[in-house]
Amino acid sequence: MNTTDIHEIVVLGAGYTGMIATASLAHRTRKLPVRITLVNPSDRFTERLRMHQIATGRELADHRIPALLAGTGVEFHRAAATSVDPEAQLVTLDSGTTLRYDTLVYALGSTTDTSAVPGADHHAWTLNDPRSAHRLAGRLAEIAAGGGTVTVCGGGLTGIEAATEIAESFPELTVTMISAGEIGAMMGEKARAHLNAALDRLGIVRRTGLRATKVLPDAVELDNGELVDSDLTLWTTGVRVSPWLPTPESPPTQRDSSSRTRRCARCRTRTSTPSATRRRSPWAGAASMAPARAAYPPPPTRPWRSPGNCAESRCGRSGSGTSISRSAWAARTRWSSSPTPTTPRSGGI
What is the rounded CA–CA span in Å between residue 222 and residue 228? 8
Q: Please check whether residues 107 and 244 belong to one and the same domain.
A: yes
CA–centroid distance for 194 within its chain: 25
Q: Please check whether residues 257 and 279 belong to one and the same domain.
A: yes
What is the rounded CA–CA span in Å between residue 66 and residue 146? 44
Mean pLDDT, residues 197-219 taken together = 97
What is the rounded CA–CA span in Å between residue 274 and residue 227? 41
What is the rounded CA–CA span in Å between residue 154 and residue 208? 10
Of 235, 260, 285, the residue that ends a domain is 235
Per DSSP, helices labelled H in the chain are 16-28, 51-54, 65-68, 120-123, 130-145, 157-169, 189-201, 284-287, 290-294, 326-332
Q: Please check whether residues 249 and 221 belong to one and the same domain.
A: no
Helix axes 189-201, 157-169, angle to 10 degrees: 30
Domain extent at residue 184: 114-235
Q: Please check whether residues 136 and 229 belong to one and the same domain.
A: yes
CA–centroid distance for 279 within its chain: 17
Residue 332 falls inside a structural domain? no
Q: Please check whether residues 207 and 143 belong to one and the same domain.
A: yes
What is the rounded CA–CA span in Å between residue 270 and residue 296? 24
Q: pTM (2 decimals)?
A: 0.71
Residue 229 falls inside a structural domain? yes
pLDDT band at 244 (very low <50, low <70, confident <90, very high): confident
Which one-letter DSSP state was computed for residue 39? E
> Quick check: 149 and 230 in contact, CB under 8 A?
yes
Mean pLDDT, residues 23-45 taken together = 95
Q: Please check whether residues 299 and 222 belong to one and the same domain.
A: no
What is the rounded CA–CA span in Å between residue 163 and residue 140? 12
Mean pLDDT, residues 49-71 taken together = 94
Residue 42 falls inside a structural domain? yes
CA distances from 303 to 10, 64, 286, 329, 341 (A): 20, 19, 11, 12, 21
Residue 303 falls inside a structural domain? yes
User: What rounded mean pLDDT belongs to the chain?
Assistant: 78
Residue among 110, 88, 114 at smallest CA distance from 101: 88
What domain count does the chain have?
A: 2
In the chain, what are the helix, strand and coil shares in percent, each to the nearest 5?
Answer: 25, 25, 50
What is the rounded CA–CA span in Å between residue 175 and residue 330? 26
Residue 201 falls inside a structural domain? yes
Of 235, 256, 272, the residue that ends a domain is 235
Please give the pLDDT value at position 249.
62
Mean pLDDT, residues 85-113 taken together = 94
SS3 189: helix
> Quick check: 213 and 221 in contact, CB under 8 A?
yes
Mean pLDDT, residues 169-184 taken together = 97
Write the CB contacts of 39 (distance below 8 Å, at least 6 apart in sequence): 10, 11, 12, 13, 14, 76, 77, 79, 80, 81, 91, 93, 99
Residue 255 falls inside a structural domain? yes
Question: Any idea what the CATH number is for the domain that residue 301 is in?
Answer: 3.50.50.60
Residue 132 falls inside a structural domain? yes
pLDDT band at 247 (very low <50, low <70, confident <90, very high): confident
Q: Please check whether residues 181 and 87 belong to one and the same domain.
A: no
